[in-house]
Every structure is written in structure tokens, then in C-alpha cells.
Structure 1
Amino acid sequence: MIEEEPVSLQDAPTRQINMIEAINDALDIMMARDPDVVILGEDVGYFGGVFRATAGLQNKYGKHRVFDSPINECGIVGAAVGMAAYGLRPVPEIQFADYIYPGLDQLISEAARMRYRSAGEFTSPLTVRSPFGGGIFGGQTHSQSPEALFTHVAGLKTVIPSTPHDAKGLLIAAIEDNDPVIFFEPKRIYNGPFDGYYDNPSKTWKNHPGGKVPEGYYSIPLGKARVVREGTAMTVLAYGTMIHVVEAVLAEKGVDAEIIDLRTLVPLDIETVQKSVEKTGKCLVVHEATRTSGFGAELSALVQERCFYHLEAPVERVTGFDTPYPHSLEWAYFPGPVRIGEAVDRLLKD
């Protein structure tokens, strides 16, 4: 690997780019720094990926380092596990998180257990990238949020960025990590500003997840949450697209809430969460995935265990519904201003 000092984020020149461009930049930087970094997946080569996250990389680094695979997610992940055990740092792309299930056995039974089974002789430094969540009217097979499945597996790390700045820094950290990382990218905010319906379709709002991203190499440590804004009325825990939804709702309601972007679900920065809840006394968890056994249930349990004597009200959750993902009712399925607003009002009353 090429030794290079990380940029000073305060002094580095920046570019205004969206999340796709930030991910592409991170991949480009890591492929230039480390010849062991390889990219594989469906259409990642000549085509540049279904969302163009790998655009231009095959032309720059060659077909032996950026190459297309058959439509075989089990094969993609299995090949990546073997490459990682051999000493490479593969970055397989699964086109949509909904397609990752055929590769679960390879991830759970092989990648996650590699270090333990070999008594540390082998590691599995692979980073599985995949767009997840709704926002493109993809229906049941292109819109799922399966992050909770991976947080249950000892040995896997689960990362979900919410800004281009974090996407670049976290992806670089994930590729450099010596253990397997599931890197979910919220496709609804891939391309910067988005239009989204409120629960009332006659009303629209805009947000701007695109942002300034430092040029050059930098990494953001896995397991460190970001305090989006400080507040005293309550603590709101979220990640990915929901960070921007929560920001918009709370700004409209004028609530002085503290918003924490978890960024990595495993390892979880529980210290930052605990410190915030102990200060505010109230907690709201928001995520897009289904409610039952969603990651919000784990967050609720942790907050209750660690902050019980500081809580002034029960922990509230606003999530997707326990139904198959609805195509035509996608915007009603998302946690939005009405349901989030009702939960905020309940917490404020207590």
C-alpha cells in the first residue's frame, strides 16, 4: 500500500459532489493507493455499475482489477471471500440489497468467521457495497432495507452513510479494515437534492444531501457517530436517508432536538448515544426498515438498559410497516412528517 498522509479536513480543498461521485472518488483513491484493491460485480466494469458508482474505473485500472461477474450473488460474494483470504481487498458490488440473500451463507458462514476459525491466521478484508432502501419506486425487489440481518452476525461490520462526505471517508475506512464490512448506500439520496412527498401528496419538500467533500485521501473511523445538531428537547437516532427526513421535520416543527447520525450500526457508538439521552431524557428512533426486529428494537433496548433512570418517557420508534414493500404506496411506507411529528408530539407531552 502507498503510504500517504491523510488530508487535513480543515485545510483541504473541497468539491461539491453527490454521494455517487463521493463513492467513486473513494474507490479511485483506494485503487491507486493499494494494488490489492479489486472491484467485482454485475455491470461494474464497462458499464460502470447500475448507478454509475464505478464509472471510469475499469478504463483506468484495467479489466484484471475491475471486472464484471455473472448474475450470481453467491458466486460474487464467495469469490470475494476467497480473494480476501488470499490477501486481496475485494470490493464486490451487489446491485441492490434485495439481491444479497443468495450470498448470505458465504458472508455468515465464511467471511464473518474467518478470523476466529483460523485463530487469526487469516482475515477477510472485504467490503460488500450495495444500494439499499426505497426512493426509486423499485417495488418489493429493489427497495428493501435488510441492515438488521447483518447486525445480528458476529464478525460483520455494518456501515450506512448519510452524506457524500461520510460516504467517502467511511468507505475508505471500510476498505482498509481487516474484517468484512457491509456498506449500504441509501439510493434515495445518491444524486444529491431530492424531491420527496409528505404523507400528504399535495405537499412537497426538498433537501440537499449533496455537499462539500475534501479532495484526496481521508478516512472516518468506523464506530463513531456524528452529532448532526445539538439540542435539549429529545435525542433522535437515525441513519441514512432518515437523517435528512428527520432534519426537515424537526426544522418545520421548530423542535430543539439533538440528532445523532449513527453512521455505523456495528460497531455502534453507544457512548455518544448514552451521553445524549442522559442529557435530553427522551429518545426517538427512526429507520426505514420494518419495525419488528428492526435495528431500532436493539437501540431501544440499549437506551432502556443504559439510560433508564434518566428517561422521562418511553423510547419512541417510527419505522416502516411490517408488510411487504409496497410499490404504489412507497411514500406512505416511509417514516414521514405525519408519523414522525406525532411521535415528537407524544414525547414533548410527557
Structure 2
Amino acid sequence: MDRSAIVHDNFLRRVAANDLPAGAEPAGPLDAALAASIYRSGCLSRALDLKSRAMQAKRQGFYTIGSSGHEGMAAIAAALRPTDMAFLHYRDAAFQIQRGEQVSGQSTTWDMLLSFACSSEDPISGGRHKVLGSRALNIPPQTSTIASHLPKAVGAAYSIGAARRHRPDHACLPDDAIIFCSFGDASANHSTAQGAFNTAQWTSYQSVPLPLLFCCEDNGIGISTKTPRGWIGATFTQRPGLKYFTCDGLDIFDTYATAQAAADYVRRSRKPAFLHIRTVRLYGHAGADVATAYLPKAEVEAEEANDPLLHSVRLLSQSGAMQPAQALEAYKATHARVERVADEVVTRPHLQTAQQVMASLIPPTRDCRPSNGPGADARTAVFGSDMRAMDEPQPMSRLINWALTDLMLEHGEIVMMGEDVGRKGGVYGVTQKLRDRFGSDRMIDTLLDEQSILGLAIGMAQNGFVPMPEIQFLAYLHNAEDQLRGEAATLPFFSNGQYTNPMVLRIAGLGYQKGFGGHFHNDNSVAVLRDIPGLILAVPSNGADAAKMLRECVRLAREEQRVVVCLEPIALYPMRDLHAEKDGEWMRRYPDPAERIALGEVGITGDGRDVAIVTFGNGAYLSNQALPQIKAAGINPRIVDLRWLSPLPDQALDAAVDGCKAILIVDETRHCGGVAEALMAHFHETSTAELARLTAKDSFIPTGPAYAVTMPSTDGIVEAVRNLVEGKS
């Protein structure tokens, strides 16, 4: 017999017989009316779990990881405020149901069943996933199962204090709010979670406000791997900067009192706390999981005998809030209501087309306060002597610095964060002087943890800031890429555009950096960024383009709420010369602050029709370096600088190569998985020109004199052009 049916039948039989498990007497501040409400939320959570399994059996529902055994989370919701943003564990249906009782006008049963059915009318995801979440209840949807939401919870908590000092236009969290973040005991071991705990402690240790309540729901097992008895308590009781609270999740009175004390501590002290709630897991991990296949039957039955709803019936009776007969009737009535509502829900429409599914990949635009930029006096005061240097050509690194200065002057909601961005001014000096100009509140030196850097940015974005995090080197992004893929880019998709976390992530990367670091400081792999739906990837090739593209990146994040990555070629940061020493031909003057390069706008050098060299980043530099030799061979070329690698500027590309007899793609990323693969496919479909590509080898990059031998070179471009035009490719 199905364990869910066994648990259900046991509840009916034992409550009717007043056969209730023993436990502590009810104690604490929980009054009768609220206790009864918490119990009813638990009943609804249980009824929904049962119905989800029945719906799946009939192919009317599509997700059965339930919350049975975790009904005590309703007591925690009751101890918090609806204005406390909640990032929830996937077993927290009872939390969301109880929070719905705190906000008028909610139709929680209907809404959650729509989610089970993946109906397009589901108010949180629009039918894209069964997720907990509600805009009205301040619960962003979560699809993570391995605690990847913890770093952004840290960021959201940090944003509350930051908004007190510099309140952005689109801030949504009140000054006295706290952030609630729950997860399972198995997830607490994940490196992402450990990084978030460490960051919270690191921040708290320095007395920086961080009103965050972590909540570990400890049911003692992760799918089939047990958590060692006492492990969570042993590892979290003595962490510096993180106050520990513990409660019995089977006892709603104890849970409410402890959660209230923990929330009061966080709200009053503005410091993080760790709430350890002991729970049980009923029904196994999910619908397809049979717990008795890997656990002794006696152990499974012992957990079922500790059904938290049975404990709640006892506690309600002992407190005088509700008699067992009334509790049994409430349980039955709840199940009957769920059955009635589900019969209607399964008739509701579903997503049917790719266009409907993808409609929320791109977030909605938002109204932003118009700005004409800072006045001349303000710019003069901030830039100081740099104003005089703007009339002279400068390398890319300096023009990026000035562009960031103008952007931060113009938009007070911009904050930058990353290792060494403030006091040191970045590894390559790109952010020098910005801390002096704007203060440590807006130039945040973080600890060395890329997941925490991106989590800080994602969380702050959800409270109205426009974050510009920095990852020092492209190779370091791979430690934290899931924060972009699994959290930032998916949020508008799974919230039907109701939640967003816009940002402009700056990364120093690509190859050709001489004599420093090899692979970890020269990384030419961008595939990990290009295959994230909705993410914009910008790669400038010179300083003026970098300044103008950064302005567009900020506009895209600020006004269109996009997740944007600006990949800045390290080797071009200091580049001054093109053909000869001290010719200064790769430096540019600082463009007027009003100038920008729009998304999808490519750069074109020359108007030759023999060959179009399509490239980006360092490839644009090398191709320009190759021009004299190409022309000396009697070939009339043009260079097309992609600038935007994702999404590819298809229409602009077609217009840029129009009339050319041949197209050579020069791609500094790898032969397999590189940008050239997409470009070759595109031109094969849209052009009749002869095609060829010159790419980097499928290799990591070495240190020393051989730093560039695996990537395209000036001579290699000349040879490839000649071979293509002369028909030797």
C-alpha cells in the first residue's frame, strides 16, 4: 500500500480513537486562534501533497516532492511578517499557506493546485514549473534543490541596510524587514550553502548589518543518504557571528516561540541567526521514491507514528484551542475542499507553444527616473585632474574607469562589489579612485568567494539596486556559474516576469595576456555564458566601445531588468599601439557620456567586398593589425566587430557582410564549443559567401613564451584570408 495512504488512514484512525503521540505540554506565546490557524495550514499542506500524487497518477499533475512532515513551518511563518522576504525550501508549502493567512485576498488552495497542474493560469510561474512562490506574499520562486538560493538571501539581507543609506527608486523591502531563508539538512553540507554561512558570519563579525534568518529543516536524510545524528547542531552551535536557535518542528507551540525569539533577535540586532527545526519526512523523497527500498520498514513506521499533525491535534486539545473531534473534522473538510477545487483546476489551460513558454525569458521593462546626467560642476569635482586627460587618447582600462565613474554619478542605485574592487582598485587598476569618489557603501570589497559575490549582487538587485559585480578572471566564474544559470537568469522565467534581478557582471578574461598566470588568468572559454537563455554577453575590443557598451549594459539592466555580462579583454586593458611601438593607434578618446552602442549594433571597419572578417575582442585588434598585409596582397577587406556575443546580432551581421564574396570568422575561443560554431551555422543559413573560420585550438593556455600559440595570430589571419580568397581553404 502507498505510504501516503497509510499515513492518511493512520491519522483518521488515531484521531478518532484519541490515540495521540506523547510529547511536551503546550507552552509559550501562541494563542488559541493562531494555533488553530497553523494546524489548518498543516492540514491543507497535507491534503495538497496527497492530491498531487493522485493528479500525477492521472497525468493531471507533474510534481510530487511534498511537504508532509514539515507542517511545523506554518508556525515559523506565523512568527514572521509578510514583509519579510522568504526564500523557501521546496518542502515549505505549509509556510506559504500560513503566510497567505496574513495577507488578505489570497486563494492559496486554487493557486497551488494550478501550480501542480502546470496550468498557464498559475499565478507565480504561469505553468512553467511547480514552485512555491507568490508576489503578494513576498516569496520569490525557488527551483533550487542544493541551496543555491542561500547566497542571494545573504545579498538581500545586506541590501536592507544598504537601502537605509542609499535608497534606490525600486526598493521593495522596508527598513525593519528581515530575510528568511530555509533549506534541508542535506543541503546544509553543500559548498554553496557553506559559502553563504561563511559570508554571513564574515559580514556579521565586522558588525555590518545583515538581518537574515537561516532555517535548517532537519529531517535527518537527503533522499537516501542519512545526516549523522546531531550533525547540524554540532556544526552550527558555536559559529562566530551566527546565533543558534533550535526547536522541535513536531511541536507548533515550541516552534512558534523559538521562531519568534529568533526573528526578534535578527530584527533587533540586525545580525544573522540560524534556526534549527527538527522535522520528519513522510512519504519518502518524492512520488516515485519508495523509502522502504532503502530504509527498514520499522524505521519508516516510527517516523509515521511521529506525524506532526497528530502532535498538533494533541497540543490543540491540551491547550483548549480545539478538541480532537473538531480537528478531525477540519482535516476531513480540508481534504474535501481540495478535491472539489482540483476537479476544476484540471480543466484550466496549459502552455502550448514555444512562444508561450519563452514569453517570460525576457523580463518586463520598468519605469525609471529620467536622468540628464550629473552637472558639469559635479563631474569636475569628482573627476578632478582626470578631466584634462579626457582630451587625449587613452587605453581601455582608463576609459572603462571613467565610464564607471559617470554611470555611478548618474545613477545612485549602482553598486559595485567584488574582491579588491574598492581599496586596491582592482587587479588591473580599472576601478581605481572609485572608492574615494563614492565610498565603501557603493564600492564593496568582498571576501574571496565568487558565489558570494554573485549572490550579493542577485540579492541586492531584488531590492532595487543595479549591481555591477566583478569577477577578477573568467576562469574564476566557473566556480560560481550556477548563480547565473540557476538563479539570476531563471528568476523572471519561473516568476512569469514578476521577480527580476538585473545586473551588469564585469569579468576580466580571454587570452593573450603576456607572462602571467597561464590558464587561470587567460581563459578563452565563453560557452558557459552563451548558452544561458536570456543572458546578454558583451565583449568590447577598444576603450571607446567599452565605455559606450557599458552605458548600454547599465541601461539594459536598469530599464529592461536584464542580466548582462560584460567580458573585458585583459590583454587590451593596457593596449596602446597597433602596428609599431608608440604609435598609439589602439587608444581612444573618452566618448561623450551621452554616447552608447545599442544592443545588437556591430562595428564595421572598411567597406571592402573581397572578404568580411567577422570577429570580436582580441580578434578585432589582431585583424586590424593584419590589415596592411591583407591590403598589400591586393585583397580589399572589411572587419566586422561583433561586440555582442549573446544573443548574436543576426540582422546586423547580415547587413554588415552584405555584398562580400567571402567571410572569415576569427574566433579566439576554442574550435569546439566556441563562438565560431554559431557564426558558421548562421552564415550557412543566410549567406552564399564562401565561409572559413580561424579559431583557437582545443587547449588550455600555458604560461610563458607560448602563451599565444594556441590562439589566432596576425600572421594566421593574413594566411587564412589569402587562402579563403584564393580558393585554398
Same fold? TM cut 0.5: yes
How is 1:43-54 mapped onto 2 (pairs within 5 angstroms)?
43-54=420-431
Match of 1:212, SS? Answer: coil
When residues 174 and 145 of structure 1 are mapped into structure 2, their CA distance, relative to the original with a 3 A threshold, is same
Partner of 1:150: 529
Q: Secondary structure at the match of 1:170?
A: helix
Deviation at 1:277, TM superposition (A): 3.4
Give the counterpart of 1:268 among 648, 664, 673.
Answer: 648
Q: Which amino acid aligns with 2:431?
A: T
* Residue 695 of structure 2 corresponds to residue 319 of structure 1: yes
SS of residue matched to 2:432: coil
Q: Does 1:136 align with 2:519?
A: no
Q: In 2, are the aligned partners of 1:92 and 1:128 still within 8 Å (CA)?
A: yes
Q: Deviations over 1:253-275 (max 9, x none)?
A: 31311110011112322223223
Residue deviations 1:30-74 (CA, integer Å, cap 9, x gap): 111111100000001111111111111111111111010011001
After superposition, the C-alpha distances for 1:137-172 in whole angstroms (9 at most, x for unaligned) are 330110002222211110110000011111001111
Distance 2:434 2:396 in 1: 16
Q: Aligned residues, how many?
A: 335
Instruction: From the superposition, tell whether residues 204 and 319 of structure 1 become closer, same or farther in structure 2 (CA, over 3 Å).
Output: farther
Aligned to 2:371: 3
Superposed CA offset, 1:8-29 (max 9, x none): xxxxx85422111111111111
* 1:334 Cα offset (Å): 2.7
SS of equivalent to 1:245: helix
Which deviates more, 282-291 or 211-220? 211-220
Cα displacement string for residues 208-248 of structure 1 (whole angstroms, at most 9, x for unaligned residues) = 32112224343221111111222111111011111111112
Give yes or no for contact 2:578–2:585 (8 Å, CA) kept in 1.
no
Asked if 1:188 is matched to 2:544, the reply is: no
Give the secondary structure class of the aligned counterpart of 2:645.
strand
| 145-154 vs 232-241, which moves further | 145-154
Describe the shift of the 1:50–1:35 C-alpha distance in structure 2 as closer, same or farther (beyond 3 A). Answer: same
In the TM superposition, residue 249 of structure 1 has moved relative to its aligned partner by: 1.3
2:548–2:596 CA contact under 8 A, matched in 1: yes
Show CA shifts across 1:270-311 (max 9, x none).
22322343411211011211111101110000000111xx22
Correspondence 1:87-166 to 2 at 5 A: 87-134=464-511, 135-137=513-515, 138-166=517-545
Which letter does structure 1 place at the counterpart of 2:565? I
Q: 1:347/1:246 Cα in 2 relative to 1: closer, same or farther (>3 Å)?
A: same
Query: Which of the pair is proportionally richer in helix?
Result: 2
Inter-partner Cα distance in structure 2 for 1:273 and 1:205: 33
| C-alpha separation in 2, matches of 1:239 and 1:332 | 18
Q: 1:349 aligned to 2:726?
A: yes
What amino acid is the match of 1:306? T
C-alpha contact (below 8 Å) 1:285/1:318 kept by paired residues: yes
> CA separation in 2, counterparts of 1:5 and 1:326?
44
Which of the pair has more CA radius of gyration? Answer: 2
User: Alpha-carbon deviation of 1:114?
Assistant: 1.8
Please say which of residues 132-141 and 88-97 is displaced more in the overlay: 132-141
CA distance in 1, matches of 2:592, 2:531: 35
Which position in structure 2 is the counterpart of 1:334?
A: 711
* Offset of residue 337 of structure 1: 2.8
The structure whose RCO (Cα within 8 Å, separation 6+) is larger is 1
Alignment RMSD, CA only? 2.2
Question: Any unmatched runs of 5+ in structure 2?
Answer: 1-368, 375-389
The equivalent residue for 2:549 is 170
SS of 1:252's equivalent?
A: helix
- The more displaced of 240-249 and 205-214 is 205-214
**Aligned counterparts of 2:636 and 2:462: Cα–Cα separation in 1:** 48
3-state SS in 2 of match to 1:78:
helix
What is the CA deviation profile of residues 71-94 of structure 1, one whole-angstrom value per residue up to 9, with x for unaligned ones?
100110111111112211000111
Distance verdict in 2 for CA 1:64–1:141, change over 3 Å: same
Q: Distance in 2 between matches of 1:261 and 1:192?
A: 17
Shift of 1:2: 5.7
- Quick one: which amino acid aligns to residue 347 of structure 1? L
SS of equivalent residue, structure 1 residue 331: coil
Superposition deviation, residue 206 in structure 1: 7.1
Percent identical residues = 28
Mapped partners of 1:109, 1:331: distance in 2: 33
Rounded to whole Å, the distance in 1 between the matches of 2:419 and 2:676 is 32
Return closer, same or farther for 1:56/1:204 CA change in 2, 3 Å cut-off: closer
The yes-or-no answer on 1:26 pairing with 2:406 is no
- Tell me the residue number matched to 1:251: 628
TM-score normalised over the length of structure 2? 0.44
Runs of 4+ with deviation above 4 angstroms: 203-207
Partner of 1:301: 681
Normalized per residue, which structure has more strand?
Answer: 1
In the aligned structure 1, how far is the partner of 2:565 from the partner of 2:669?
16
How far apart are residue 204 of structure 1 and its match? 9.0
CA distance in 1, matches of 2:652, 2:583: 29
In structure 2, the CA distance between the partners of 1:325 and 1:119, relative to structure 1 (3 Å rule), is: same
Instruction: Tell me how far apart the structure 2 counterparts of residues 206 and 99 of structure 1 sit (CA, whole Å).
Output: 34
Which residue identity lines up with residue 506 of structure 2 in the other structure? R
Asked if 1:63 corresponds to 2:446, the answer is: no
Mapped partners of 2:548, 2:454: distance in 1: 23
Which residue identity lines up with residue 288 of structure 1 in the other structure?
A: E
Q: Contact 1:2 / 1:33 at 8 angstroms: preserved in 2?
A: no
> Following the alignment from structure 1 to structure 2, what is the Cα–Cα distance between the partners of residues 276 and 62?
43
Q: Report SS of the residue matched to 2:589.
A: strand
- Asked if the contact 1:97/1:132 (under 8 Å) is kept, the reply is yes
Q: Indicate if the aligned counterparts of 1:222 and 1:267 stay in contact, CA closer than 8 A.
A: no
